[in-house]
Chains A and B, each alone.
Chain A
Amino acid sequence: MDDKQLVDRIRSGDRSAQRALYDAHVDRVYRLAYRMSGDETLARDFTQDAFVRAFDRLDGYRGDAAFSTWMHSVTTSVVLNGLRKIKRIRGRELDIEAARGIAHSVPQAEPDLKTRLAAAVNALPEAYRTVFLMHDVEGYTHREIAAALELKTGTSKARLSRARARLRMDLKEFAEEWVA
């Protein structure tokens, strides 16, 4: 049974179809949520929020695009909004710590690839990082990314190109080794 038939069954009140639709998409949704948040609890919460929202708003899915495209649009919206909220809260906590004099400088360790890579990816602007993670890391097409983020495919390509250029620059000492 394909996604469209499952959606029709859910609309007619068949709850078991919800589970089938969930099973078909949960792995990819969770992977994206985890890749973007880097936290197991957050990824779980975002995945749950995305499915609850999708099932609640299934009437808004008109069937013009594939269900997976619509589902990933819901997921990216939930994850990006959630991460922005958390960033605001963490920002305040850091301010409080700084005000109390708790904050201290972390000694710089010899950077390895994992640390440098994480720093470089985290330093990308959110719009670039999202496209880079979706395309180069999780294998979404530009068309899927454009639909999920409500962009033109050309914008998605341009953002990916800029993200790659920044990463090449930030990781140039490793890039030299790779080329050699």
Chain B
Amino acid sequence: MNDQTGGIDARIAEATRDLYHAPPPAPSEEMWADIQARLVSEPPVVPIQSASGRSARSRMGWWVGIAAALAIGLGLGRLSLVPTPAGDSAAEIAERSGSDAERSTWPYMLATRSHLDRAESFLTTVKTDRRSGWNNPEIGTWARSLLSRTRLLMATPAAAEGPELKALLEDLELMLMQIVVTADTDDPQESLIVDQGLEESDLLLRLRSAASKNNGPASGPTFSTL
């Protein structure tokens, strides 16, 4: 390699650093909230294969989800405990406890938003696949994973923030259950319900709208306005 070639390579590298997929700052807190939720929630994937087995397994999934959410909640609660100075007035303490509560809720909200974003992408893929007649063998696995996380998030404080978010998670849970059942059984009736749900309901629109809302500690929680 001569000097000229080396110089050109250096200019190309420099231009690539500046112009090709230049990364923004990493959204560390948001990603960490999601990683924590996944580390707790991923091991117990609840298989749903038939109508008869669905009820018991679904209940088990709920208990696992609630236990996982409690574990995360306790962990976050411990992290957010701040010693109270002796001289603080009752009003100051009340004000601080309010903002502490908000701080302990927003990681759940970030995780929820990220989950809704992923669910929206997944359902769009399912819709495209079904329209084209392609039977993706991985759909069932992905739907199960999303289903277990949906159930976990339904038991977190974020879901209690507003009835619309709770309703959205419940509708998403039903749709994912339907997709899991369809993937397992190939029942034409179940397939029809999935198709109708994807084509006629406003679930995708609501997911898109919920996932696009801004969230974070600076702006404060916004899922309550969904």
Contact = CB atoms under 8 A, between A and B. Distances in A.
Interface of A: 15, 18-19, 22-23, 26-27, 30-31, 34-38, 40-41, 43-45, 47-48, 51-52, 55-56, 89, 92-93, 96, 113-114, 117-118, 121, 132-133, 136-137, 164, 167-168, 171, 174-175, 178-179
A178 B9 CA distance: 10
Contacts of A51: 31, 35
Given A89-B125, A168-B5, A27 B26 contact: yes
Chain B interface residue number, banded: 35 or more
A178 B7 contact: yes
B97 to A, nearest CB: 24
Interface string B33-44: 011001100100
Contact of A40 (B4, B24, B34, B128): B24
B8 A52 contact: no
Interface string B13-27: 101110111011011
Nearest to B132: A96
A22 to B, nearest CB: 6
B145 to A, nearest CB: 11
B32 A136 contact: no
B114 interface: yes
A78 B150 CA distance: 23
Given A48-B31, A55-B39, A179-B4, A31 B125 contact: no
B9 A179 contact: no
Contacts of B121: 41
Given A22-B32, A96-B132, A117 B15 contact: yes
A132 B96 CA distance: 51
A19 B32 CA distance: 8
Contacts of B28: 22-23, 26-27, 30
A31 B11 CA distance: 20
B75 interface: yes
A47 B118 CA distance: 14
B32 A34 contact: no
User: Chain A's interface: helix, strand, loop or mixed, by majority?
Assistant: helix
Contact of B31 (A15, A31, A44): A44
Contact of A15 (B19, B38, B75): B75
A168 B21 contact: no
A30 B75 CA distance: 25
A165 to B, nearest CB: 9
Interface in B38-93: 38-39, 42, 75
A43 B31 CA distance: 10
A7 to B, nearest CB: 15
B30 interface: yes
A171 B38 contact: no
B19 A45 contact: no
Residue among B24, B42, B75 with most chain A CB within 10 A = B24
Contacts of B192: none
Contacts of A114: 19-20
A37 B151 CA distance: 30
Residue among B5, B9, B17, B118 with most chain A CB within 10 A = B9
Nearest to B117: A41
Contacts of A19: 32
